[in-house]
Every structure is written in structure tokens, then in C-alpha cells.
Amino acid sequence: MIDVLETSDGWDWAITADRAGPVDRATFTFDAGPAGDDPRIYRHGYQSWSPSGEARLGVDVDPSSQPTLSLVRGMHHADPEPVTDPHQLRSELVTVVNGTCYGFLGGTDHDGTFRIRLRDGRIEVTVEAFLGGAHLAAGETRVLHPVRRFASLDDWAVAYGAANAARVDAPYQVGWCSWYHWFSEISEDALRQQLALAADWPFDVFQLDDGFQAQVGDWLDTNEKFPTSVDGIASSIRAAGRTPGIWIAPFLAAPASEVAQQHPDWLARHAATGDPLRGSYNDHWGGSVGTLDTTNPDVLAHLEHVGRSLVEAGFDYLKLDFTYAPSLPGIYADPTRTPAQRVRAGMEAVRRGAGDDAFILGCGLPLAQAVGVVDGMRIGADVAPRWDPPPQVWEGALYDGVAPSTANALRNTISRQFMHRRLWLNDPDCLMLRTSETELTPEQVERWALAVGESGGMALVSDDLALLDDGSRALLDRVLALGRAADAAVTAPS
């Protein structure tokens, strides 16, 4: 039974199970007014990489209706099932319809989705609390996250941040990141060379990305490209006067990892096959990787240990990636937990270990569960040393608007701008200042860089510093001046 109480500013609601068993969702529907000639909505994506922006009702289609993998649909929506109604669009967590913003006020207990369609010249909105098959006991009541009306997306972000203890006080972030030049080929030699070249660059954080780890899942051990331990790497970054930062995908574990080999019971399972639940696929990781079961207390203790160990090793900045993974449907130890609760429990475990002072950047993370845990948040698709996605995109990007490309990153930098310092510090993704070893034209390099600056979001450079010249440095200085001013303007009393 679903109890919905409509108030002057929105809805409060709860679900009570008639009988014991799994519950997928609770819904109610309201009329959002006449459609007019050209009805448009704000369509918001589920996690960091998911596209957000304006969509046309009756014209655009939900990307899940296009052929793709269930993993990819699950990665980009609360409900991994495709939309079959060609006239329905989904917006996750928040939307704008007919000039009114509607948003959930929380996302830690369950996800929230708006399903929006035209009906007889009017706009019909179905509000959905997604419980993802969580088992409820007979007669059990779960209070659902309230849904409210707002005058603007800004107002929603302020309210959501206040209701969820958003962490918005970290300083403006300037740094360097290894990913968008070396990708998985980063080595300790290259990292040390960059540290030396960085002497005159104004970086605080120096963030090592994917490519150092022994295996996906074994984050405290390095591979043959990194002869030194993670402690040694952090010490070298610190000795160069930078804040050590490191990337991990805490909820993933490769089949060959120690964590998967020694604790097969820590992996979530596919319902049909009983095989480890595929959380992602990457050639450079050796293929498919499993998903840790964040309803298992031993897994949470392990995640806490990983967070604590990396901070103790000297990393004050942790980029937690592919963190949507435990939202995927599967068999988990505790069937009473919703996908949202599984993601949140994993994030909180890493935060507990890392402590309150560490800077945590969420990536590939559902926005609803991030607020209050992360200090920074990736809000768009990966940039790439090219403007448009190539025609042949890799498997993980079989979805409209998410392939790594600077154009895709730029779209969300604008459409999720209003979240900056209300929910976290926005991370629009890295600057790439080089004009060689890139397909970006100098105009495109500048256009992206200035957009990052104007957004006030985090400014991390991802280049081989040996490729940068005085022009690149002058551009970075412009970006940082713009960025500091835009950042300060968000918090300045009006």
C-alpha cells in the first residue's frame, strides 16, 4: 500500500508491504499542466557520466530504448529495465517541467525517478521510488524520500544540500592527473618525471589514476610499472610539495585479484547464473570485473581498511570510481537493502576509513547517494583528446551522450553547473592544455579550458608537462583566475 500526502509544496509518502517479498517500486502520478507546442523538460542523468540537459517530449527518446547491454542501462539509470513507451522520458532525482522544478529531497534509502509523458495535450508525471526488489517484511513500512516543488534547479540544489549535510567547504582545487595523456600506460618513471617538470606549475594535488594497481580490487599493491609501494609513491609526491591523490574503483574486483580469489563470498552474483556480477568491462583490466557485495559486513570492513590504508600511506585525495557498481541488480547477502543503500553503504565505509579530512572525489557515482560523503563530484562524461566521439565507440559507451569526448563533457559542465558548492565541488573533468598529441584544435583546447574556468569547478590538468609551452601556461592562468572568481561568486552573499 502506498500512502501519499500532498502538501502545498510537494508530497510526503510511504510504502507498506501487504505481504513479505521483493518490492521494485512505489509510484504516484500527477498532471503537470498543458503541453503547449514544443514541450521540453530538464532531463537529469543518474550518475556522474550520465547525460543531463534539455529534452523534447514527444521527440527525444529515452536512451535505454536503444539497443545496448543491460550493464550499460544499469549504469545510467536507477531502473535498468529499458523504457518501452516511445513517448516516455526519464529524469533521475530532479526535473523541470513547465517551468517548475520537482526534486526528491533524499537518495540514501532508495533512488527516485520522474517518468514524464504527453497525454491528451497535457504533461503527465509519474514519480517513482525505486527499491530494486528489496525484500520487505509483511506489514513493514518504509518512509520514502519526500518530493518537493521548487522555483529553480538552484533552489532544489540548496535544499538537497542542506537536507543531506553536503560537504561544500573544500578549497578550490588545482592539480594534475595522469589519465588523459597516459591512460592505463602510466608508469612510476613518467609520474616522477612529471613531478620534476611541475616545479613551476601551480598544482596542489597530484593525482595518479588507473594503471598503478596490481589488479582491479588490489589497491594497496602496485604492478611491475610501479617498482615502489603505494607508500613510496605518496612520499615522493609529498616530497615534491604536492598533495598525493590516487584513483581506485573500490567496489570492483577482477577475477585474478587477491580479494576475489581469497573471498569469493564477497562478490555479488548474477541471479540467473550464480557467476560474479559483472560491474564493468575494460580490456586493460583483463576484461570483465566483479562487483563487491556492499551488504556484507566483511566487505564494508575491507572497504574501510582500503580507505584507511591509503590515507595512512599519505594519500589525502581519493578518486573513487565506478561506484555505481553495487546498484546493479543481482544476488546480495542482505536482500532487504535497496540499490541506493548498497551504494551508500560502500561509500560510507570508504569515508569512515579515510576520515573526515580526506578529500573524496566521486566518479561514476549516482548523484543521489553522493551528497554528504564526497567533497568533489564528477558531473559528466570523460573528456578525451578529441571533440566528438569517434564513430566506433567502445563497449562501455553504447549509450547516447556518454562516450568519452570533450563535447559530451562540456554538455554536463553547463547542465549541472547549478550543483557546484551546493552538493559538492563540481569536477567538470580534466583540462587538456596540449596542442600536440591531441586531435583537439587549439580553439577547442581553449574552448574547453575556459568552460572549466567559467564553471568554477575543479581544475586538474591532464597533460605530459613536457608538451606544454608558454601559451599553455598563460591559458591555465586565465582559467584559474576565471575559476577562482566563479567559485567565489557561488558562495558570496547576494
Which residues are at the interface with ligand 9PG (CB under 6 A)? 49, 179, 209-210, 247, 280, 321, 363, 382, 396-397, 402
Please identify, using beta-carbon distances, which residue of 35 and 383 lies nearer to ligand 9PG: 383
- Name 318's Cβ contacts closer than 8 Å, sequence gap at least 6: 245, 246, 248, 307, 310, 311, 350, 354, 358, 359, 360, 361
* Cell output for 150: 521548487
Query: Least distance to ligand 9PG from the beta carbon of 337, Å?
Result: 24
Query: Least distance to ligand 9PG from the beta carbon of 39, Å?
Result: 30
The SS3 assignment for 5 reads strand
Query: Least distance to ligand 9PG from the beta carbon of 380, Å?
Result: 9
> In this chain, which residue has its C-beta nearest to ligand 9PG?
396
* Cell output for 430: 580534466
DSSP states along 301-318: HHHHHHHHHHHHHT--EE
Query: Least distance to ligand 9PG from the beta carbon of 144, Å?
Result: 30
Please identify, using beta-carbon distances, which residue of 108 and 438 lies nearer to ligand 9PG: 438
Residue from 8, 3, 7, 31 nearest 116 by CA: 31
Residue for cell digits 615534491?
240
The SS3 assignment for 335 reads coil
Q: Which helix or strand (DSSP H or E) is residue 141 part of? A: strand 141-150
Q: Which helix or strand (DSSP H or E) is residue 361 part of? A: strand 359-362
Please identify, using beta-carbon distances, which residue of 109 and 321 lies nearer to ligand 9PG: 321
Please identify, using beta-carbon distances, which residue of 292 and 403 lies nearer to ligand 9PG: 403
Please identify, using beta-carbon distances, which residue of 48 and 91 lies nearer to ligand 9PG: 48
- 1: amino acid identity, one letter: M
Query: Least distance to ligand 9PG from the beta carbon of 183, Å?
Result: 8
Residue 453 CA to residue 430 CA, distance in Å, equals 11
CB atoms within 10 A of CB 182: 18
Cβ–Cβ under 8 Å, residues 276 and 267: yes
Please identify, using beta-carbon distances, which residue of 280 and 415 lies nearer to ligand 9PG: 280
- Name 73's Cβ contacts closer than 8 Å, sequence gap at least 6: 64, 80, 81, 82, 399
Cβ–Cβ under 8 Å, residues 98 and 123: yes
* Cell output for 203: 598544482
Please identify, using beta-carbon distances, which residue of 32 and 72 lies nearer to ligand 9PG: 72
Query: Least distance to ligand 9PG from the beta carbon of 247, Å?
Result: 5
Query: Least distance to ligand 9PG from the beta carbon of 389, Å?
Result: 12
Active site residues: 321, 382
Residue from 466, 491, 400, 396 nearest 172 by CA: 491
Query: Least distance to ligand 9PG from the beta carbon of 51, Å?
Result: 12
* Cell output for 326: 553495487
Please identify, using beta-carbon distances, which residue of 97 and 431 lies nearer to ligand 9PG: 431
- 147: amino acid identity, one letter: V
Query: For helices 470-491 and 442-455, what crossing angle results, to 10°?
Result: 20
